[in-house]
Each structure stands twice: as C-alpha cells, then as structure tokens.
Amino acid sequence: RTPLTARELTVRYGEFTALDGVDLAVPAGRITAVVGPNGAGKSTLFHCLAGTLRPDAGRVEFDGRDITACPAHARTRLGVARTFQQLAVFPTLTVAENVRVGAEQGRVRDAAAVRRTLTLLGLDGPVAHRPAADLPTGTLRRVELARALAGGPHVLLLDEPAAGLDAAEVAVLATVLKALAADGTALLIVEHDLDLVDRLADTVHAMAAGRIVASGPPEQVLDAL
C-alpha cells in the first residue's frame, strides 16, 4: 500500500518555481527520505504533503483520495500526522498533557494509545508530569514525536527530527522510527543528517532546484551526491 502520494506538484512563489512537477510516494511500512541542498524545495514539498501549502498545480492523494484541498487539521484527523522543526509543544502543559492534546487532534482518541506512546518514547516516568518548558531539547523532541504519534497516524511526516539531538538520542530516535515502520506506518523524513538517512531510509529522493533528481536505496543515492 502507498497511503500518501504526490502527483506533479508545482509551487511558484511569484516568478520563481520552487517545486516543478514533483511525484512522490510514501509507502506503508517504509521510511522514505527527502534530501537536498538548502533551497531545493524540501520544505515546500513537506508543506504541500502536510496541508499547510496549496500547490499551484498537481495533487496529493491519501489512500487514493484527493486531499489537495484538505487543510492540515483535517489531514491529521484522517491519519496524516506531522512533527514541526520549530516544536509545537505547549510549554505550560505537562508532557502527558501535550501528548493527550496530540491524541485529540488525531485519527483515534484513546487513552491506551496515549499511554503506549508515552512508554514507546520513554516518557512514562516522572517526566510525564513535568511542564514541557523545563525540559531539554532531546526530551522535547521526543514529546513532539509522541504528540504526533498519539493519534495513531497511518502516515508520519517528520521535519528534521534529529535537529539538536546528541548521538545517543539520535540512536533512540532511529530505533523508534524503525519500529513504527515495522508496524506498518508510512514515514517521510526530511533530514540534513545524511548518516541518519543512510542508516534509516528504505528509499531516498534527492532534490535539486524544485525537482527530484535521483531516487533509490540510500547507498545508491547518497553515494552519488
């Protein structure tokens, strides 16, 4: 199954074409990565998939249904969740409260799913009751991921999930993302850390100047960069 697909996506900012007819598939049970230099169009593509930007042409489909006109919150409800590079964690809420808010915005609203997500990300101890404002970046990134996961998404869009993490935290993140993929979730990751992409991704798409210029397994695509 390929729950999320982009077809011929084109985005222009005035005269400038930021995305130029991009086709992309985000299949279930796989980790798909998008890499490329600054300005290649990765964020623009991400926004089109997440529903925070309407393309000028082309469409986004979820399970074969055209969701191009569907706003971000409705996509989250359908099961397309995302994380933010600028974390979307509420500072005055506790870790558990943040994750509960995430679950309420998602596909399923279920207290057991919240508990499972907290456990999966190692947030089930005393930290669950601390206000998010007091936590270090690595923990906040886990809260951000938990917030997106608690609603049981079919597709998870990750914007630079390893930014600001140390090596040990990246290793934990990699393990969690692999487990999610093994469970059938479709993951898309936009990531600057090419070592992580190499370790994690099943398929890599390299972008340049608004197009996908190479696609394939990491050893093939990353070695050619």
Which residues of the shown chain bind ligand ADP in the complex (CB under 6 A)? 13, 16, 18, 36, 38-44, 85
DSSP H helices in 79-193:
95-104, 111-120, 137-149, 167-182
Inter-residue contact 55 to 10 (CB < 8 Å) = yes
Please identify, using beta-carbon distances, which residue of 76 and 117 lies nearer to ligand ADP: 76
Asked if 163 and 192 count as a contact pair (C-beta separation under 8 A), the reply is yes
Closest distance to ligand ADP from the beta carbon of 87 (Å): 11
Query: Measured from the CB of residue 94, what is the shortest distance to ligand ADP in angstroms?
Result: 26
DSSP code string of 29-44: T-EEEEE--TTSSHHH
Sign of the CA dihedral running 92, 166, 46, 30: negative
In whole angstroms, what is the distance from residue 208 CA to residue 213 CA? 6
Side chain identity at residue 44, one-letter code: T
Q: Which of residues 118 and 190 has its CB atom nearest to ligand ADP in the complex?
A: 190
CB of 35 to ligand ADP, least distance (A): 9
Provide, rounded to whole angstroms, the least separation between the CB of residue 40 and ligand ADP: 4
Task: Name the residue nearer to ligand ADP (CB basis): 44 or 203.
Answer: 44
Q: What amino acid is encoded at 40 in this protein?
A: A
Tokens 């059938």 belong to which residue? 184
Name which of 40 and 80 has its Cβ closer to ligand ADP.
40
- Shortest approach of ligand ADP to residue 24 CB, angstroms? 14
- Closer CB to ligand ADP, residue 114 or residue 162? 162
